[in-house]
Structure 1
Amino acid sequence: MEDITITSEISRISRVSFKPPKFWKTEPETWFYRIKAQLRASGITTDATKFDYTITSLNHDVLIEAIDIIRKPPGINKYDTLKHRLMKRFAISQINKICTLIGRIPYGDQIPSQLLHKMQILNEDNISENVLKTLWLEQLPQNIRAVIVTRHEDIETLAKLADRIPETNEILKIQTLHKQVSPSNEIQQQISQLTEQVKKLTERPNKSNT
């Protein structure tokens, strides 16, 4: 009996402390995965409570997209009805996802594996891995693409390799710079030695005159 009481109290505290994250308009599906896990961890299972928590996470511009459901929620499946509306309003259609893939995702300052991950999310197995690999390679910087384009590893392995290429190139640049600087140091040493020799030669006559 005591264990049940403790469990109930922990569940009550979890519900009180639960604060859903603000709705992600650009990633609604990911947001619902997250809130589902948080609801489950907090022991929140009733439809009405899940519905209310979802509403509290919506900003004004999102609320107006489902205001009819919020004003007059259905008798059952309130949460799923609201979820379906938000997904319909903000989720990218499959056609748009493929168009985004083909139309190129801005590379920016991300690393190759991050670009691949975004493309895989958009793809959702709509196109084959070979086609996805081709689209991914086309969007990589030329110096990275040139290194891996002829390799035959799977796409995940290639992405890990591609991530390391900029670092490797930086090391090579430093090594090259070091090689370029080294001869200059040697020349400087030779100049110093010659200067010292000239100094000694110019001092000899003075010593002989004394």
Structure 2
Amino acid sequence: MNKLPRNPPATGKYSSLKVRLISTYQKSDHRQLQKLLSGLELGDPKPSQLLRKMRDLSGKLLSDEALKAMWLNQLPTQIHAVISVNTGSSLEMLAAMADKMMEHFEPTSISSVSTTTTACQESLQIAVLSKQLEKMSLEIAELRTNQQNAGN
């Protein structure tokens, strides 16, 4: 609590403290994405729990397709093979299917969890950067439009 102001403002003490606490302890999008890209592993949780954690970490920085690719790479080989050919289902449905498949496999019959390759991490980072660039371009276009309208 060293980072808290010693002399809080006379008015709005709660708001000031709240803003300071949130800015100090909230994980940035960049740190969350780095954690995601550094490779979560399936381990003990169900595939649906892993997907939920990956979705929470990625926020809105990754498309569903990029998230699906990362998630599939974390599944055991047998389950990955079955799930990846199913193109018509939502990500939530695929996660539920993967959970059911995991229940029917013997723990020893599931191969070790695959790790995300460097090439996959790089392509996902490029996808994230592209998404951020697209968002920034839209914001710049909006600012220009607002500036032109204000000048008229």
Shared fold, TM over 0.5 = yes
Native 8 Å contact 1:111 1:163 kept in 2: yes
Q: List runs of 5+ in structure 1 lacking aligned partners.
A: 1-62, 174-210
Matches within 5 A, 1:4-43: none
CA radius of gyration, larger in: 1
CA separation of 1:80 and 1:139: change in aligned 2, threshold 3 A = farther
Name the amino acid aligned to 2:93. Answer: T
1:112 maps onto 2:50 in alignment: no
- Which among 100, 103, 111 is matched to residue 35 of structure 2? 100
Matches within 5 A, 1:1-210: 63-66=1-4, 68=5, 71-152=6-87, 153-170=89-106
CA separation of 1:132 and 1:75: change in aligned 2, threshold 3 A = same
CA separation of 1:144 and 1:77: change in aligned 2, threshold 3 A = farther
3-state secondary structure, aligned to 2:8: coil
Name the amino acid aligned to 1:166. Answer: M
Alignment RMSD (CA, Å) = 1.9
Cα deviation 1:81-116 (Å, max 9, x = unaligned)? 222222222222111222222221232211111111
Name the amino acid aligned to 1:73. Answer: P
Of structures 1 and 2, the one with the larger relative CO (CA 8 A, separation 6+) is 2
Name the amino acid aligned to 2:63. Answer: S
Give the number of aligned pairs. 106
CA separation of 1:77 and 1:118: change in aligned 2, threshold 3 A = farther
**In structure 2, what is the Cα distance between the partners aligned to 1:87 and 1:161?**
37
Q: List runs of 5+ in structure 2 lacking aligned partners.
A: 110-152
Aligned to 2:146: none
Cα deviation 1:109-139 (Å, max 9, x = unaligned)? 1111111111111122111110111111112
Native 8 Å contact 1:101 1:135 kept in 2: no
Please identify which structure carries the higher helix content: 1
